[in-house]
Amino acid sequence: MLLQIPELLSPEQVAQARSVMDRANWVDGRATAGHQSAQVKNNEQLPESSAEARALGDMILQALERSPLFISAVLPARVFPPLFNRYGAGMEFGAHVDNAIRAVTGTASRIRTDVSCTLFLAAPDEYDGGELVVEDTYGEHRVKLPAGHAVIYPSTSLHKVEPVTRGARVASFFWIQSMIRDDGQRTLLFDLDMAIQRIRSDLPPGHPGPVQLTATYHNLLRRWADC
């Protein structure tokens, strides 16, 4: 499932993030790439252990906790501390699949990458190119969102960032280990949750339908969840 999360960060939060990032020191983005990805990756990143990355990452984690759409779609068990990248003119990230397991720097913790997330921090008119291109069974999906908006997609997807030809593409990216590792099952639960919310608003109070469907949702979650 590929899904946009609108306005994950407010304009004020985006401005705060950009101010911090503009003053930070950037390093070669290949530092966090696997052997295969490093061959097609050309960008810059904030060091994972930097104070700037940690502070901005905490802001994003708090925003995720306040997003009902994110929680419903991802059913997160663990979230990798957000990372931050920048693509200047001529930079790109060729087609790749994210590593299945990510170690959290400085800890013994590892997470399974079920869902990938890109949070855009530069407005589309600030740069040319730089589209996130995600491939699935229905073809290619090209994503370039307003600053503060995010997109989630299965980490199993082949994806790339198109070359930037003007300006700079700035974003945060991270991975989530879901309670539901199978993308098809997550999608079914998300669709059911959205349907329950619509039915609840349409039916009169006390109607048994929403309760019955909610019971089905939780029984499926109980059957499939790994937490």
191 is in an annotated binding site: no
Residue entry with tokens 């070359």: 163
169 is in an annotated binding site: yes
3-class DSSP state of 33: coil
Q: Is 18 annotated as a binding residue?
A: no
Beta carbons of 1 and 190 less than 8 angstroms apart: yes
Residue 1 C-beta-side C-alpha neighbours within 13 Å = 22
How far does the chain reach from its first CA to its final CA, in angstroms? 21
Q: Which distant-in-sequence residues (6+ apart) come within 8 Å of 198 by Cβ?
A: none
For CA atoms 40, 25, 147, 197, give the dihedral sign.
positive
149 appears as a binding residue in the annotation: no
For residue 101, CA distances in Å to 6, 61, 112, 119 come to 27, 20, 5, 21
Binding-site residues from annotation for Fe cation? 96, 98, 159
Binding-site residues from annotation? 96, 98, 159, 169
Binding-site residues from annotation for 2-oxoglutarate? 169
